[in-house]
Chain A
Amino acid sequence: MPRLVSHPDEVKIVSKRFGLGATDIDKYIELGGYQAAKKCLEQGPDWIIEEMKASNLRGRGGAGFPTGMKWSFVPKQSAKPKYVLVNGDESEPGTCKDHLIFLHDPHSVIEGTLIAGLSIGSKMGFIYLRGEYRYLLEIMEKAVADAYAKGFLGKNIFGTDTEFQIITQSGAGAYEVGEESALMESLEGKRGVPRIKPPFPAVVGLYGGPTVINNAETIATVPHVINMGGAAFAAVGSPRNGGTRLFGISGHVERPGVYELPMGYNLKKMIYDVAGGVRGDRKLKAVVPGGSSTPVLLPEEIENLGMDFDQVGKAGSMLGSGGVVVIDDRTCIVEFALRTISFYQHESCGWCIPCREGTDWLKKSLTRFHAGFGTAKDIDNIRYLAENMLGRTFCPLGDAAAMPTLGFVKKFRKEFEDHLDGKPCPFAKHAEMAVV
C-alpha cells in the first residue's frame, strides 16, 4: 500500500478517512458514513441539486464543470432509464488521486453515486475503473456487496421504496476511455471511441438514457458536501471553486504524494512548502500544473498562482486533474516532450485523422530530434503540427497532446535549438527524468 503523506496546510475532507480502515463498511459507518445518503433520501432531488450548486463543486476530472449544474441538466421525465456513471478511468500521467479513494474509501464513491442517483431519479449506477486498477476493483466490489448486504443498495434502500443498484466494471486499458462518451461505448461493450456530441450524456447517454457521468473524486466529494452543507463547502475554496482538491505532486520534489489542499492554494507554496521543495535543492525549471495534458508553466509564472480552475486558466494553462509535475533544471525538455507525446501517440484511439496522425508524426519527429538528427525546420514543423491538431480533433485527446507540445516549443525553443547541429543532448549526462 502506498505511503500516505500529510502536511499541516491540508484540509482533510475527501481524504479524512484515508488510512483509517474505512474499506470496512462498519468502520465507514462509524466514521459518519451513509448519513449523507439518508439525508438526501429524506430531502429529495431538488434540495440535493441546490446544495450541490451552492457548494461550487467543479468536476475533478479536469474540465471543472460545475457538478450541480450538470445534474440539473438531466430531464426529470424520461422514457428510458437514467444512469449515473462514475469515471474511475484515471489514466492521465501525473494523476493518482482516484486511486487512493478506491483504495482507502470505496464507500464514499458508493454513497456519492447513490446521492447523484437520487438527485436525477436514477435507479442504476455504474462504477467504471481503469483496466490497470484490477486490484482496486476487488476492493470496490467487496464494498458494493457490503452495501447491498446492509440494505444501502438494492430494491428498497434504507428500508424505503426507492431502488438503486450499482454495477462495477473494469476497463481494458485505454486512456481514451476516460473521455465520457468513449467510456459509455466501452461500458456497452464496444470499442472505446468517443461519440458525436450533441446529444450530450445528460440527454442521451449510456444505452441511450439520460446519464450523469462524474469523475470518481467528484463523486467521493459529494457526501462531504451534503454533510457539511453546500455553503460551508464552498467557503473552504476560492471564489467559484468550492472546497478542496486532491493534488498529486510528483517529479523532482522532496516529498511527492497526494495532498488535500483548498482550491486556490498557492502553487509555489505547494512545491516548496507542502512537497518540501525541489529535490537536492536544485533549481526549478518548469511545472506541469494539472496532468500531462496541461501546458507547462515557468517558475516566474507560478509566483502568485492560486491553484483553481480560473487562475490557472488565466495563467495560460489548466488545473486539469490536479496532477502537479515538478521539473528541475537537469531535465531535458525535448525528452520530456517526447515522453509526453509518446503517451498520447500510444493512447490515441485512432478515430480521427488529426490526433491519430498528428501524435504519431510528433513522436517520430521528437524521437529523431532528441537523438540529434533534427533540423531547424523541425522545430517550426513540430509547432505547426501541434497548432493544426489543436481544436480540430474529434475529442479533447488531440488537444491534450497538442497543448503541452505547443507549450514546450514556445517556452523552451532555445533548448530545442541546443539539440541542433548533431550536438548530443545537453542533459544526457544527468539523464534523470521526472517521473511522469
Chain B
Amino acid sequence: MADVTFTVDGKKLTAPAGTLLIEACRKAGIEIPAFCYYPGLSLQAACRMCVVRQEKVPKLQTACTTTVAEGQAFITDSPEIAQARKATIELLLGNHPLDCPVCDAGGECELQDMTFKYGAGESLMVDAKRHRDEQQWSPAVFYDRPRCILCYRCTRMCGEGMDVWALGIQNRGVVSVIAPNQEERLDCEQCGMCIDVCPVGALTSGSYRYKTRPWEMNHVSTVCTHCGDGCKVTLGIRQAIDGSEIVRADNRDKSGINGDFLCAKGRFGFDFVENPERLTTPLVRNAEGNLEPVSWEQAFRVAGAKLKEIRDSRGGNAIGVVGSNHTTNEENYLLQKFARTVLRTNNIDHERTTDYAAFARAIAGHPGKTASLREIAAAPSILLIGGDPTNEHPLLAWSIRTNVRLNRARLYVANERQIKLERQARAALRLPSGGYAAMAGYLGGSDSVIKTSAFREAILGEEKLVVVFGEEYRGTAVEELVKWGVGQGNVKFAYLGDYANSRGAADMGLLPDMLPGYVPASDAGPFAQEYAGLPSTQGKTLPEMLTAATNGALGGLLIVGANPFDQVGSGPVTLKDTFLIVQDIFLTETATAADVVFPAASLYEKTGTVTNSFGDLQLARKAADHAGVKPDFEILVRLADSVGADVKALVPFGKRGVTADLGQSRGAQAGEADRHAVWLAANGLEPKLSPFDPLALLDEIERLVPAYKLDRLNLFGGNDVQIEPGLIPSFVPVSALAASRPDPVNPAHNGLFTSGTLGRYSHGLKDLEQHQAAGVATAAAD
C-alpha cells in the first residue's frame, strides 16, 4: 500500500494507507490506551479506551478500527478524550473488585496502569458490586469472574491464535462471563496463552497464583529447556532460602523467536528445578553398596582416579561417554573434547532423537538452504512432511498457523497420520505406508507410490518453499529429500528434533564417528593438531556402549544429563564391571545404578548457548540458583583436573601469561569494580577469566565448527543467530561424509505435557497430564 500522510495532535505522520490508526500512533510513540485491541487478533472496538477525535466526524472514533488515509487529522489527547477514557475506567471500576492488594496482577495490571494515568481516583460507586465465585478450570487456569473486564483477548487468543476454541462468552450484558468448553472445566492444550494476554487478574496461573508480588521478582530471559523449538522464556526469580527460585515462567520478553507464544511446557514445566527430589550433594557408592553423600572433593577424587586407572590400564576404548540433549553447546563441546583428548576415546554419543548427522551430510556444501524459525514464520509457502507440530513442536505449529492466518501463507501437509495442522493447510496429502521414503521421488515426478499429481503440482508452482520434515526421516531418506530440494533452487529445509539442544549435541560432536561440525573422526583435519592424543578409530554408539557395559567390555561409563537406562525398548541394563559416573539433576534410573553421582545445574541455572531444531543459536542465561549443584561445565573441568589433565589445554583461559586475580584487586570502594573491569579488558582477559567460564570456549568452537560463525553482538544481546550448516569445512571433501552405518535414532515423541525424564519431575506437567487423562476418560464415558 502506498504511504499516506495525516496528522495526529498536529504532528505529521506517514504510514501505509490502511494502517490502523492505533498502530500508526504507537509506531510514532503516541500512546493510545486499549484493553481489547491486541496486535494480530481480530478487532473488537469493545473497550472504547482508544477513542480519538477525527476531524469532521461527529462522534469519537476508535483508533483500533480507524484506518489512516491521506489528509486525515486526529486528536488523541484533549480534555474531551481524557474524560471519555476516565469515564470508561470509572464504569469498569463500578463492578471490578478492588482487591488489587491480593491480586496476582497487582503491579502489572493494565487496568491499574490506566487508572493511574487517567485518574479515576474517586470512587463514584456506592452500590454493591456484583460478585461471583472464582472458578478453577484446570490445574493451570483459574478464572476470577468479577475481575474480568470482558476484553475478549483470551477467547480470541484461544480461538484465532491457538486454533483451540476452548473459550467462549456466556450470558448477556453485565452478567456475561468467559466460559470454558466443558462446564467449569477447560479441556485444551493448556498453553496458558489466555492467562498471558489477560490485561487484569481475571485469568491466573495455577503455578503462580498468590505466590509472590510482581515487584519481588527479577526477570531473566533465557531459553526453554524442553522441546527443540527453543522458545525464549522469561523466568520470574525470587530469593529463596537455598538460592533463588523460579516462581513464574512466561514470555513477557516478546523479542524471541516465539514472539507472543509459549506453550504449557515452557510456562508450567519449569518447576522441576524446585522438586524436592533434586540432587544437591555428590554421592559415592560405599562399601555396603549404597550411595552415600560425600564432599565434592571426595567425589572428584574417586571418579578421577577410577577413570585414570581404566584409561591407563585398559586404554581409552574401555571407557564410554554419553552426553545430553539439554546441556549447552559449550558443555557438549567440552565433554567430547574431554572424552577424546583426556580419556582418549571416540566412544561418545548421546540419545539421538533425530538424524542430524544425515542432514549435515546432505546439506554440506549448500549454504543458504536451511530455514530458521523466523523464516518459517514468514515463508510464503511451507511443505510439512511428517511430524506433529501441534503436539511435539508447539512453537512451530504456532508460527505456521500465524503465518497462514495473518500472511495467507500456503501450507501443504504430507503425513501418514491425520494431524491438526491440516486445518490450516491448503492441501493435505495422506501418505501410504512407505510414503515418507517415496516423497523425494514423488516430488521429482514419480507417481509409483503416491498416486496423485495435484499435490505435487501445487508445490512445484510455488515460488519459494520451506520444507519442514519430521524425524520419520533418517539416513538416505534425508539425503534424497534434500537433494531434490537443492536441485529445485528455491527450497529451504528444516529438520525436527526433540529437545532444547538435540541439534547442538550433534553439532558439537557427541557422536562416535564425527567430531564437532560433523568432521569424520577418521580424517580429523585441524583437530589432529588441536586435539593432542585424538584417537582416529571410530567409537561405539550408545546402544553399543550399553551392550558393552552389560558384557564386561566397558570399564568406565560417564553419562552427563541423560537417562539411557530408561530408554524405551532397551530393556533393563545390568552393568558388568563397569564403573558408572553420572551427572544429573535427579536420581534417575541411570543415576541409581551409578558409582559416583554429581548433582548438576539445570539449563535455567547456568549460562551457555543452545541450538534449536532450526539452527537458531541462542544464549541461555543463568536465571536461578540452587544451593549444592554445579553446572556440568564446572563438573567436567574439575573431573578432568582430577584425572590429571591439563585444564588449560581443555579450556583456554588466562592466556598471554596474565592471570586474572578473580577480583582481589577489587576494593570495597565504589568505582573499584569498574576500574577492575577496565583493567581486565585492557589485558585481554575477558571473557577468559575462569576455567569455569563456558564462554571461554566460543573462540575455539567458532574456529573449528564452520557452521557456528557467531554474530556475538546479537547472540549476547539476547537475539537468535542462525547457524549455517551448509558451510562445509574446506579441509573435508564432501564425499568423505558418507554414512558409515545406521544411526541409532530413537525419537522421544513427547506430547504437550511430557518432556522425557525431565518432565516426570515437573508437578505442573504431571497435573496437566492427569487433568487431560481425566477429561478423555469423561468424554469416553459419555
* Neighbouring A residues of B130 by C-beta, 8 Å: 360
Cβ of A35 within 8 Å of any chain B Cβ, yes or no, is: no
Q: How far is the CB of B49 from chain A (nearest CB, A)?
A: 8
Q: Which of B43, B59, B173 contacts A348 (CB 8 A)?
A: B173
Report if A207 contacts B (CB, 8 A): no
Whether B94 contacts A357 by the Cβ 8 Å rule is yes
Contacting pair B173 A353 (CB below 8 A): no
Q: A353 and B47: CB pair below 8 A?
A: yes
User: B656 on the interface (CB 8 Å rule)?
Assistant: no
Query: Considering residues A196, A347, A349, which has the most beta carbons from chain B within 10 angstroms of its beta carbon?
Result: A196
Distance A348 CA – B91 CA, assembled complex (angstroms): 15
Q: Which of A143-151, A219-227, A387-395 participates in binding chain B?
A: A387-395
Shortest CB-to-CB span from B91 to chain A, Å, is: 4
Interface residues of B in 66-120 (CB under 8 A from A): 83-84, 87-88, 90-92, 94-95
Residue B174, interface by CB 8 Å: yes
Residue interface mask B473-513, A partner, CB < 8 A = 1: 00000000000000000000000000000000000000000
Q: Report the nearest B residue to A360, measured CB to CB.
A: B174
Residue numbers in B under 8 Å from A381 (CB-CB): 124
Chain A residues near B60: list those with CB within 8 A: 391-392
CB distance from A91 to the nearest CB of B (A): 13
Q: CB distance A354 to B87 under 8 Å?
A: yes
Q: Please give me the residue from chain B that is nearest to A192 by CB atom.
A: B172
Which of B65, B128, B174 is A357 in contact with, Cβ under 8 Å? B174
CA distance A339 to B91 in the complex (A): 21
How far is B87's CA from A381's CA once the two chains are assembled, in angstroms? 12
Q: Which residues of A contact B88 (CB under 8 A)?
A: 353-354, 388, 392
* Interface-located stretch among A22-30, A105-113, A319-327, A361-369: A361-369
- Which residues of chain A come closer than 8 Å to B173, judged between CB atoms? 345-350, 356, 359-360
By a CB distance below 8 angstroms, the chain B residues around A174 are: 172
* Count of CB-CB pairs between chains A and B under 8 Å: 93
A345 to B175, CA, bound (A): 10
Residues of the A chain whose Cβ atoms lie less than 8 Å from the Cβ of B127? 361, 364-365, 368
Q: How far is the CA of A217 from the CA of B59 in the complex (A)?
A: 29
Query: Chain B's nearest CB lies how many Å from the CB of A186?
Result: 12
B175 contacts which chain A residues (CB < 8 A)?
A: 350
Centre residue among A350, A358, A389, A393 by max chain B CB count within 10 A: A350
Check B125–A392 contact: CB distance below 8 A.
Answer: no
Which one, A348, A388, A389, contacts B174 given CB within 8 A? A348
Chain A residues near B697 (CB-CB < 8 A):
none
Inter-chain contacts of B125 with A (CB < 8 A): 361
In B32-49, which residues have CB < 8 Å from any A CB?
43-48
Name which residue of chain A comes closest to B49, CB basis: A353
Interface of A is mostly: helix
Which chain A residue lies CB-closest to B151? A353
Inter-chain CA distance A348–B706, complex, in Å, is: 65
Say yes or no for A191: interface residue by CB 8 A criterion: yes
B149 contacts A by Cβ under 8 Å:
yes
Per a CB cutoff under 8 Å, which of A346, A360, A389, A394 touches B46?
A394
Q: Which residues of A contact B124 (CB under 8 A)?
A: 381, 384
Instruction: Tell me if B95 and A360 are in contact (CB < 8 A).
Output: yes
Query: How far in angstroms is the closest Cβ of chain A from B63?
Result: 13
**Chain A residue, CB-CB nearest to B124:** A381
Q: Are A394 and B43 in contact (CB under 8 A)?
A: no
Interface residues of B, count at CB 8 A: 34
Question: Does A385 lie within 8 Å of B91, measured CB to CB?
Answer: yes
Q: Determine the distance from Cα of A65 to Cα of B432 in the docked complex, in whole angstroms.
A: 61
User: Is A203 among interface residues, defined by CB-CB distance under 8 A?
Assistant: no
Q: Is the CB of A356 within 8 A of B87?
A: no
Q: B182: CB under 8 A from chain A?
A: no
Identify which of B44, B59, B83, B87 gathers the most chain A CB atoms within 10 Å of its CB: B87
Name the distance in Å between B674's Cβ and chain A's nearest Cβ. 51
Number of A interface residues in the complex (CB < 8 A): 33
Contact with B along A256-274 (1 / 0, CB 8 A): 0000000000000000000
Q: Say how far A368's CB is from chain B's closest CB, in angstroms.
A: 6
Quick check: is A351 within 8 A (CB to CB) of the other chain? yes
Interface string of A362-404 (1 = CB under 8 A from B): 0011001000000000100100110011011110000000000
**Any chain B CB within 8 A of the CB of A352?**
yes
- A353 touching B174 in the complex, CB below 8 Å, given contacts A196-B65, A391-B60, A392-B60: no
A392 and B172: CB pair below 8 A? no
Neighbouring B residues of A191 by C-beta, 8 Å: 169
Contact B95 A357 (CB under 8 A): yes
B176 within 8 A of A: yes
Nearest chain A residue, comparing its CB with the CB of B152:
A351
Closest Cβ neighbor of A398 among chain B residues: B48
Q: Is the CB of B172 within 8 A of A349?
A: yes
A365 to B83, CA, bound (A): 21
Give B46 Cβ to nearest chain A Cβ, in Å.
Answer: 5
Once the chains are docked, how many angstroms separate the CA of A368 from the CA of B172?
Answer: 23
Least Cβ–Cβ distance between A57 and chain B, in angstroms? 25
**B174 and A392 form a contact (CB under 8 A):** no
Is B150 among interface residues, defined by CB-CB distance under 8 A?
A: yes
A388 contact set on B, CB distance < 8 A: 83-84, 87-88, 90-91
As a 0/1 sequence over residues 31 to 75 of chain A, the CB contacts with chain B under 8 angstroms (1 = contact) are 000000000000000000000000000000000000000000000
B263 contacts A by Cβ under 8 Å: no
Measured CA separation A195–B65 after assembly (Å): 11
Question: Across the interface, do B172 and A350 meet the contact criterion of CB distance under 8 Å?
Answer: yes
Q: For the complex, what is the distance from the CA of A295 to the CA of B174, rounded to whole Å?
A: 24
A355 to B: closest C-beta gap in Å? 8
Q: Which B residues are CB-close (under 8 A) to A384?
A: 87, 124
Q: Are A392 and B43 in contact (CB under 8 A)?
A: no
Asked if B51 is at the interface (CB within 8 A of a chain A CB), the reply is yes
- In the complex, what residues of B have CB within 8 A of residue A350's CB? 150, 169, 171-176
A176 to B90, CA, bound (A): 24
Which single residue of chain B is at the shortest CB-CB distance from A368?
B127
B316 CB to nearest A CB, Å: 70
Within 8 Å by CB of A354, from B65, B91, B126, B149, lies B91
Contact residues, B125-178 vs A (CB, 8 A): 125-128, 130, 149-150, 169, 171-176
5 A-B pairs within 8 Å (CB atoms) are namely: A350-B176, A357-B95, A357-B174, A361-B127, A394-B45
Given contacts A174-B172, A346-B173, A365-B127, 16 further A-B contacts (CB under 8 A): A345-B173, A347-B173, A348-B172, A350-B171, A350-B176, A352-B48, A354-B87, A356-B173, A356-B174, A357-B174, A359-B174, A360-B130, A360-B173, A384-B87, A392-B60, A394-B46
Binding site for B on A (CB under 8 A): 174, 176, 191, 196, 345-354, 356-361, 364-365, 368, 378, 381, 384-385, 388-389, 391-394
Query: What are the 10 closest A-B residue pairs judged by CB atoms, nearest first?
Result: A388-B87, A350-B176, A357-B91, A360-B174, A364-B127, A348-B173, A350-B173, A361-B94, A352-B46, A391-B59
